[in-house]
Amino acid sequence: MRAMVFDGSTPVLQDLQVPDPQPGAGQLLIDIHACGVCRTDLHVIDGELAHPKRALIPGHEIVGIVAALGTGITGFAVGDRVGVPWTGHTCGQCRYCQSGRENLCDAPGFTGYTLDGGYAERTVADSRYCFHLPQRYSDVEAAPLLCAGLIGYRTLAMAGDAQRIGIYGFGAAAHIVAQVARHQGRDVYAFTRPGATASQQFARQLGARWAGGSDENPPAALDAALIFAPAGSLIPAALRAVAKGGIVVCGGIHMSDIPSFPYSLLWEERRVVSVANLTRADGQAFMKLAEATPLQITTSPYPLAEANRALNDLRNGALVGAAVLTMR
């Protein structure tokens, strides 16, 4: 099969022919139709996340059709459309798994990082961590739901019942979570790179009450700020923007160093928290929401062979919405 492979020596993926994977016990063999291109893929390829699998097939927003079943499979059949997310395995034994916090598992496996992912024509995945997908979305539209949507959903949930939501970094995750927040009756304030007028207009089209640069102050104090851009300097900026008792939620797996800031920005019971991975319960809840709520998923499709161009466009901020690789 064809696969785009990261060998660890260069941030340029190699276009290779590799053996087809074979499903083991509990695994699905999946013919991949689409795979989202996530900023986490960049963090892996650019060396910002340590100890990836070598050689690695990246990609963890996988949509495809079940081609074969390993032994012991329940809940899936050949021909089913499935999604494969970032969390590909948990141990089930550590204190986090035992307390309903499998997203913090001590011995996890992550799709497209420690396990081969979806920048390929086929993959295998543990069926227990796969999802049936809402039928209202095409394969390309469904791919970003599997990370941008899921992590955005968990990030928003950690903001509690906050009414005024600021979103820093209006990319793939933000454009989905903004619609969820608006569906819930919240007010959305979008922060982009300074001067990124196209992204600001995009945010307004999706219902943002206000959109501006990350160097600007919103017209009203925020109850919560969600940060998806990997820039540590946004944390003190977001703290300045949130009201007393407000929360800043960091939704990314990697961020540049956070600069020092005066304690006065944190005082008055403001909080800074991070989101780590997701649970299967998160995925099931979000897929139900996405089925019931017509989300506008904006994508830029690329053929599998142009994965490097898609990654560069993401790296350079040249995308509106989500990049998605297609295999058909």
133/173 same-domain check: no
CA nearest to 144, candidates 297, 275, 290 = 297
Residue with tokens 């992550």: 110
173/71 same-domain check: no
- Contacting residues for 306 by C-beta, under 8 A, at least 6 apart: 325
The boundaries of the domain holding residue 172 are 150-274
Q: Does residue 315 belong to any structural domain of this protein? A: yes
236/189 same-domain check: yes
Q: Does residue 292 belong to any structural domain of this protein? A: no
Q: Does residue 289 belong to any structural domain of this protein? A: no
pTM of the entire structure? 0.94
The answer to whether the bond into 55 is cis (omega within 30° of 0) is yes
Pairing of strands 299-303, 81-84: unpaired
Tell me what pLDDT residue 279 has. 95
Residue with tokens 């069926």: 127
119/24 same-domain check: yes
Tell me what pLDDT residue 321 has. 85
DSSP bridge partners of 107: none
Q: Does residue 283 belong to any structural domain of this protein? A: no
CA angle in degrees (0–180, nearest 5) for 241-247-252 = 95
φ, ψ of residue 272 to 5 degrees: the values are -125, 125
> In whole angstroms, what is the distance from residue 87 CA to residue 291 CA?
21
Tell me what pLDDT residue 327 has. 94
Tell me what pLDDT residue 136 has. 96
Q: Does residue 17 belong to any structural domain of this protein? A: yes
> In whole angstroms, what is the distance from residue 87 CA to residue 103 CA?
8
CB 196 within 8 A of CB 319: no
158/122 same-domain check: no
128/141 same-domain check: yes
156/201 same-domain check: yes
CATH number for the domain that contains residue 155: 3.40.50.720
DSSP assignment of 18-65 equals -PPP---TTEEEEEEEEEEE-HHHHHHHTT-SS---SSB-----EEEE
Q: Does residue 216 belong to any structural domain of this protein? A: yes
CB 160 within 8 A of CB 43: no
CATH number for the domain that contains residue 72: 3.90.180.10
Tell me what pLDDT residue 319 has. 85
Q: Does residue 279 belong to any structural domain of this protein? A: no
> In whole angstroms, what is the distance from residue 239 CA to residue 217 CA?
11
136/26 same-domain check: yes
Tell me what pLDDT residue 44 has. 96
Q: Tens-of-pLDDT digits for all 328 residues of the chain?
A: 999 999 998 999 999 999 999 999 999 999 999 999 999 999 999 999 999 999 999 999 999 999 999 999 999 999 999 999 999 999 999 999 999 999 999 999 999 999 999 999 999 999 999 999 999 999 999 999 999 999 999 999 999 999 999 999 999 999 999 999 999 999 999 999 999 999 999 999 999 999 999 999 999 999 999 999 999 999 999 999 999 999 999 999 999 999 999 999 999 999 999 999 999 999 999 999 999 999 999 999 999 999 999 999 999 988 888 999 999 7
CB count, 10 Å around CB of 249? 24
Q: Does residue 178 belong to any structural domain of this protein? A: yes
202/121 same-domain check: no
159/250 same-domain check: yes
φ, ψ of residue 105 to 5 degrees: the values are -45, 140
E strands in 56-135? 62-69, 81-84, 87-89, 109-110, 122-126, 131-132
CB 87 within 8 A of CB 76: no
CB count, 10 Å around CB of 80? 16
Tell me what pLDDT residue 235 has. 98
φ, ψ of residue 37 to 5 degrees: the values are -105, 115
CB 270 within 8 A of CB 240: no
- What is the residue type of 261? F
Residue with tokens 């089930």: 92
DSSP assignment of 208-245 equals -SEEEETTS--SS-EEEEEE-S--TTHHHHHHHHEEEE
304's enclosing H/E stretch is none
Question: How many structural domains is the chain composed of?
Answer: 2
178/265 same-domain check: yes
